[in-house]
Amino acid sequence: MRMRIGLSGGIGSGKSTVAGFWREAGATVIDTDAISRGLTATGGAALPAIAAEFGPQLIRADGALDRDAMRALVFADAGAKQRLEAILHPMISAETQAQAAAATTSAIVFDVPLLVEAGLRWRQRVERVLIVDCAEQTQLARVMQRPGWTREAAEAVIRQQARRAQRRACADAVIVNDEGLTLATLRLQVLALAQRWGCGTIAGIG
């Protein structure tokens, strides 16, 4: 029996880091953000539909989606956000399912930043939900270290995302990844959880 795990958490909480430890432990990790980026990169399958819906000015000279322009558009207009999601979500879903169908490992970890925000749509596809949680101050500090990010931009994303309590309420397990937790300890927590959830037969555990 293959276990499907939904992994989520706020921006900068440490999802990708935790996903990496699952991968190290032998699980297949499916990164829905990477899938989404691929759909809107140069030659991406979603670009014709996006250009038809929003106009060709949203596509840059190199053929990729103009992310800054798109972000500004959906930030200002909830209807535009819905129209974009109506294009992207079915495509992300199809690619996610294709990758999951091709997986041969006993655990599949779906890295889904907005799993909680998506409601039942994602909850129904997985046996377990794992939330990576940390203090907002820690999120801010991590995100502001990234090139091009300001405190205001990071705070705006945090405000748009689900509240920490909402996320925790959906969780089968919570990994608290606050400042001061070493990566070595975080890794051990992931491996212990994999074992607790019966994914202990995957390579690298036990």
Binds ligand ATP by CB under 6 A, chosen from 3, 6, 7, 15:
15
- Nearer Cβ to ligand ATP, position 166 or 201? 166
Would you count residue 6 as binding ligand ATP (CB under 6 A)?
no
C-beta of 13: minimal distance to ligand ATP in Å?
Answer: 4
Residue stretches of the annotated binding site for ATP = 12-17
- Alpha carbon distance 86, 73 (integer Å): 15
Binds ligand ATP by CB under 6 A, chosen from 7, 29, 115, 186:
186
C-beta of 186: minimal distance to ligand ATP in Å?
Answer: 5
- Find the binding residues for ligand ATP in span 108-137 (CB under 6 A): 113
C-beta of 1: minimal distance to ligand ATP in Å?
Answer: 28
Residue with tokens 């500004």: 72
Answer yes or no: are the C-beta atoms of 10 and 164 closer than 8 Å: yes
Q: What is the DSSP letter of 148?
A: T
- Applying CB under 6 A, the site for ligand ATP has a residue count of 14
Answer yes or no: are the C-beta atoms of 21 and 204 closer than 8 Å: no
Phi, psi of 109 (to 5 degrees): -110, 120
- Alpha carbon distance 153, 27 (integer Å): 33
- Alpha carbon distance 178, 173 (integer Å): 16
Binds ligand ATP by CB under 6 A, chosen from 7, 12, 110, 140:
12
The tokens describing 25, both together, are 């432990």
Q: Which positions touch ligand ATP (CB under 6 A)?
A: 9, 11-17, 113, 142, 177, 181, 183, 186
